Amino acid sequence: MNDLFPVITDDGLNDLKRRIGVPIVGSLEPWCHEATRDNIRHYAHGIGDDNPLWCDPEYAEESRFGGITALPSFLFSTSRIISGYVGGLPGVHAMWAGADWSWHAPIRRNDEIRTEAYLKDLISHDTRFAGRAIQQIYHVDFYNQRNELLAEADSWCFRTERDTARERGIKYKEVREKGVHQYTKEELEDFYSLYAAEKPRGADPRYWEDVKIGDELPTMPKGPMTVTGFIAYAQGWGGLYIRANRIAWKQIDAHPGLGIVNKFNIPDCPERVHWEEEFARQVGTPGAYDYGPERCSWLTHHLTDWMGDHGFLRKASCKIRRHNPEGDLLVIRGKVTDKRIENGRYLIEIQQEARQQNDELSVLGTGLVELPSRNV
């Protein structure tokens, strides 16, 4: 096998281990410093969420919040680290693979977001995708301008060797052999009918007493996956390495490992796996694919649509199980698995999963939702 890309080394791992627990300072500037009306709307629309609680000032003014609030996943746009901006192992691929979130307070319009972060752990795995992989876990705390803790989260990336994934990885062998599926008009109309049927719960309260263990949430479609859709998400979220002209040159000049040459022999960012099929295949995936934080945001969208304006998302987790390349159709399903009263809060626990058109598991999730009670 001819190595085109850098590999994981013991020296590189030892350097990373020395960073565990050390506060990260001087990291890359976030895409959004503030939860402005436009920033919130751009992020929401980037995941296909047009809930008026995030997007319509007149509607939101009549809500219990008295104005626009940000969707929970908006915080991805306020921290590159929670979104997959990893340190160490220069030139080794990083794939965002999951997160555990806890929210403590609403994110209100014009809140100024400040973060604190550190590398939490490194875990070695043997994977079907690329053999040896290093799970790199970060912890991030999110504060507003009043120094109130809004949320906290762990997120992780898997560091993998691109050459090994391409040459030896077996996870997508069958997908690559099948080739491109061209959907019929009937197949697409059947999928689009799910969009026609969905809508957020809105101002109609969903009370804790009315929810039963075993209740199923309405299904939520996402897709069909297109590069256009991936770019729509990047517009609201900001991306990790998307830069132009002088700023792009500065980035690659300062971090040469980011500059992977394209077909013109021009160094370009590794993030182009999300829109450049040829490069995506070079790193072992079946084609250009969706963003990890994007998919996590789809799961929380599923939960916020269900809970309505009177609910509050307390916790959510996301574990990615495969890539969603161009052409995939995704359907998210959820079920209530528990309900309880804890510290005066009326809580509902939900399990989620999303599968693509061939019934392959794409992502697993959980949610903990606080609902209003008829007794309060």
Domain membership of residue 2 (yes or no) is: no
C-alpha closest to that of 330 among 307, 358, 304: 358
Amino acid at 217: L
What is the pLDDT, as a whole number, of residue 1? Answer: 46
Domain membership of residue 375 (yes or no) is: no
- Phi then psi for residue 109, to 5 deg, are -55, 130
Total domains in the chain come to 1
Neighbouring C-alpha atoms within 13 Å toward the C-beta of 294:
29
What is the pLDDT, as a whole number, of residue 191? Answer: 97
Domain membership of residue 4 (yes or no) is: no
Each of the 376 residues of the chain gets a pLDDT tens digit; together they read 456 677 888 888 999 999 999 999 988 899 999 999 999 999 999 999 999 999 999 999 999 999 999 999 999 999 999 999 888 888 888 889 999 999 999 999 999 999 999 999 999 888 766 677 899 999 999 999 999 999 999 999 999 886 665 666 555 667 666 778 899 999 999 999 999 999 899 999 999 999 999 999 999 999 999 999 999 999 999 999 999 999 999 999 998 888 999 999 999 998 999 999 999 988 888 899 999 999 999 999 999 999 999 999 999 999 999 999 999 999 999 999 999 999 999 999 999 999 999 999 999 999 999 999 999 8
Domain membership of residue 5 (yes or no) is: no
What is the pLDDT, as a whole number, of residue 3? Answer: 60
CATH number for the domain including 120?
3.10.129.10
Both tokens assigned to 326? 């161009």
What is d(CA 374, CA 376) in angstroms, rounded to the nearest whole number? 6
What is d(CA 249, CA 232) in angstroms, rounded to the nearest whole number? 24
Q: Which DSSP state fits 357?
A: T
3-state secondary structure of 350: strand
Helices of type H across the chain = 10-17, 37-46, 52-55, 57-61, 162-167, 173-178, 185-197, 227-237, 245-254, 277-282, 292-307
What is the pLDDT, as a whole number, of residue 263? Answer: 92
Instruction: Give first-to-last CA distance, the chain, whole Å.
Output: 66
* Positive or negative torsion for Cα 53, 59, 61, 63: negative
What residue numbers bound the domain in which 53 lies? Answer: 10-370
Domain membership of residue 154 (yes or no) is: yes
What are the DSSP calls for 181-248, one per residue?
PPPPHHHHHHHHHHHHH----TTS---GGG--TTPBPPPEEE----HHHHHHHHHHH--SS---HHHH
